[in-house]
């Protein structure tokens, strides 16, 4: 980062750091009857507020990878720690929350200050615009993919569902959402808005099985990201996301809690709060010197996660499976998995040094993703290639929820399968269109409407 960018945002970053130190001071100086409990509550609230603030501030009206990642930090770290501490009460947590929360908070704020703080000052960009004929092309293929996903989900028992089936439906709904983008002579805005809403409802009814709530949230983020790139009303999209997020988390939690007989997760929020708890357990094991290190094995597993296990029976397990022998050895061989945040993946691979390495690697990667998506979004979507490129950017950005939640393996498996569906669509359809509009680097001329009917 250039010195001027750092100097402008240094007071803001130091302010958040000072607030965190002040929260820890409540424990150090024992200013309350339960100092550790009070400090945990204060620092949890700060983590929640910081993540939501960055989500609102970064990218202006646009929803960015940095913004989604910070929203996920607010949910899976700030809210999870706050909820767990309130539920357990003073001294009630089986593993102290404060040490893990302290590491997460200060590492995350430092990442923002060093690598993301300058991005929030980017000038407001123009709305993303798509040719109307191209939007209709996306609408047709969106309906096709969603219908394919629904039919396959009905044709095969749930235990045989492949992630590609869900991914086809997911990409289909995102393509339906592209009808929200403005273009020349755009009319019937209400219809174009109701179509992706109906697609979301179909996805929920036929492809959501009460266990993929994170996927459902990512799909909502994808539609919100597209909506935030429109011209009219986009200023309020982020506020609406925050307004809807809290009730959605609790409603989906209740659906999960009531859908399983004798469910030990009585409030249905286990998938939201447990990853942070598991990270604190890993941190405690590391402090005791008994946490085995993977030395990058889970990152290698993420890199090859799309290789079918039938072709490679000895393929390494991803982070979720690798955590089972450590956190729940009695569940080995049952197909059970754990989530321990992106922080947990760096910890289990390289110890505390890994958490330090996480700062520049995550910071630079997300900054690069946002710049790449900005470049794609800045060009009018006049060809299928450009539209599919923009769609790929949306998929990469909303996958940040998975990255924060459970690390790289789940991110690559889910986002990778969605990109494979998009690549298949590109190979089957977009390659057929030839210059001057199909391969043009500038693409100023829109394709004839007849060409988009294929």
Per-residue model confidence as pLDDT tens digits over 88-101: 888 777 788 999 99
> Which residues make Cβ contacts (< 8 Å) with residue 68, sequence separation at least 6?
55, 221, 397, 398, 400, 401
The DSSP code sequence of 300-355 is HHHHTTTS-TTT-TTPPP-HHHHTHHHH-GGGTTTT-----HHHHHHHHHHHHHHH
Backbone angles phi, psi at 243, to 5 degrees: -65, -35
Share of the chain above pLDDT 70, in %: 84
The pTM score is 0.91
pLDDT at 453 over 70: no
Least confident of 108-122, 168-182, 233-247: 108-122
pLDDT digits over 14-32, tens only? 999 999 999 999 887 776 7
3-state secondary structure of 130: strand
Query: What is the dihedral sign for C-alpha 114, 115, 118, 120?
Result: negative
Cα–Cα separations (whole angstroms), residue 35 to 22, 26, 443: 12, 6, 62
- Do 425 and 168 contact (CB within 8 A), yes or no? no
Over residues 214-241, mean pLDDT: 86
Which of 180-189, 220-229, 443-452 holds the top average pLDDT? 220-229
Over residues 127-146, mean pLDDT: 85
pLDDT at 192: 62
Backbone angles phi, psi at 275, to 5 degrees: -55, -40
pLDDT at 441: 40
pLDDT digits over 260-274, tens only? 655 556 677 888 999
Q: Which among 74, 98, 163 is positioned nearest to 404, based on CA atoms?
A: 74
> Which residues make Cβ contacts (< 8 Å) with residue 274, sequence separation at least 6?
80, 338, 339
pLDDT at 53 over 90: yes
pLDDT at 295: 95
pLDDT at 226 over 60: yes
pLDDT category at 446 given cuts 50, 70, 90 is very low
* End-to-end C-alpha distance for the chain, whole angstroms: 46
pLDDT digits over 29-43, tens only? 776 778 899 999 999
pLDDT at 266: 62
Q: Which among 296, 270, 267 is positioned nearest to 354, based on CA atoms?
A: 296
pLDDT at 115: 95
- Write down the domain spans for the chain: 3-121, 132-261+379-453
C-alpha span between 103 and 390 (Å, rounded): 35
Q: Which among 139, 144, 128 is positioned nearest to 452, based on CA atoms?
A: 139
């Amino acid at each position: 980062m250039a010195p001027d960018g750092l100097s402008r945002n240094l007071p803001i970053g130091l302010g958040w750091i000072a607030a965190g130190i002040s929260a820890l001071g409540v424990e150090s100086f024992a200013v309350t009857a339960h100092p550790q409990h009070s400090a945990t509550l204060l620092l949890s609230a700060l983590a929640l507020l910081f993540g939501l603030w960055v989500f609102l501030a970064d990218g202006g009206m646009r929803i960015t990878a940095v913004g989604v990642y910070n929203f996920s930090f607010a949910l899976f770290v700030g809210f999870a720690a706050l909820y767990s501490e309130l539920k357990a009460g003073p001294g009630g947590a089986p593993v102290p929350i404060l040490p893990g929360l302290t590491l997460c908070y200060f590492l995350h704020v430092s990442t923002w200050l060093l690598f993301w703080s300058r991005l929030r000052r980017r000038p407001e960009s123009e709305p993303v615009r798509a040719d109307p004929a191209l939007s209709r092309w996306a609408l047709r293929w969106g309906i096709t993919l969603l219908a394919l996903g629904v039919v396959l989900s009905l044709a095969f028992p749930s235990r045989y569902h492949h992630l590609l089936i869900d991914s086809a439906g997911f990409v289909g709904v995102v393509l339906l959402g592209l009808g929200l983008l403005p273009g020349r002579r755009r009319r019937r805005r209400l219809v174009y808005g109701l179509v992706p809403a109906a697609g979301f409802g179909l996805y929920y009814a036929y492809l959501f099985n009460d266990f993929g709530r994170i996927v459902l949230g990512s799909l909502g983020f994808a539609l919100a990201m597209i909506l935030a790139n429109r011209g009219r009303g986009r200023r309020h999209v982020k506020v609406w996301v925050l307004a809807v997020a809290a009730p959605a988390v609790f409603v989906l939690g209740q659906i999960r809690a009531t859908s399983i007989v004798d469910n030990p997760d009585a409030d249905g929020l286990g998938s939201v709060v447990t990853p942070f708890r598991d990270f604190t357990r890993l941190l405690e094991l590391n402090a005791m010197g008994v946490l085995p290190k993977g030395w990058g094995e889970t990152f290698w597993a993420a890199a090859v996660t799309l290789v079918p296990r039938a072709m490679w029976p000895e393929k390494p397990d991803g982070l979720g499976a690798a955590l089972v022998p450590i956190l729940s050895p009695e569940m080995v061989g049952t197909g059970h998995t754990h989530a321990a945040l992106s922080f947990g993946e760096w910890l289990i691979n390289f110890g505390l040094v890994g958490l330090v390495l996480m700062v520049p690697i995550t910071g630079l990667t997300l900054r690069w993703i946002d710049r790449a998506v900005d470049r794609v979004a800045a060009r009018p979507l006049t060809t299928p290639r450009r539209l599919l490129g923009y769609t790929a950017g949306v998929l990469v950005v909303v996958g940040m929820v998975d990255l924060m939640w459970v690390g790289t393996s789940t991110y690559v498996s889910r986002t990778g399968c969605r990109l494979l569906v998009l690549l298949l669509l590109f190979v089957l359809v977009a390659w057929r269109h030839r210059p001057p509009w199909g391969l043009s680097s500038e693409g100023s001329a829109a394709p004839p409407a007849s060409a988009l009917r294929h």
